[in-house]
Amino acid sequence: GNSVTQMEGPVTLSEEAFLTINCTYTATGYPSLFWYVQYPGEGLQLLLKATKADDKGSNKGFEATYRKETTSFHLEKGSVQVSDSAVYFCALRNAGNMLTFGGGTRLMVKP
């Protein structure tokens, strides 16, 4: 079956630090990969996505590259801000149209 594994949080960084949140997956076929972000008290927002191997998704300074050889989709940002504090979810969807989520990683950015 499909599964997504994220690094456990919380991840605590100082402002302007480099961010990496690891995400690896197990899936049949060729899934699409997503990162969603949930700000405090809000629903999920799509942050970025990639639909095939070697695709790079990017948005708001965040990037993630679909690595089929390592079954990974790590989220990175070069310089985080306090406003990036949120919970980040890695997810995949295969041809069955079902989203499978990772457990979420809470990011806390301190001024």
Q: Which residues bind another protein (CB under 8 A)?
A: 32, 34, 36, 41-46, 49, 51, 89, 93, 97-99, 101-104
HSE toward the beta carbon, residue 55, CA cutoff 13 A? 13
Smallest gap from residue 31 Cβ to another protein (A): 10
Closest Cα partner for 86 from 34, 42, 39? 39
CB 65 within 8 A of CB 20: no
79: Cβ contacts below 8 Å, ≥ 6 apart = 16, 17, 18, 61
In the complex, the smallest distance separating the C-beta of residue 11 from another protein, rounded to whole angstroms, is 15
Considering the complex, state which of residue 18 and residue 53 has its C-beta at the smaller distance from another protein. Answer: 53
Q: Which one, 66 or 89, has the nearer CB to another protein?
A: 89
Q: Of 4 and 19, which has the nearer Cβ to another protein?
A: 4
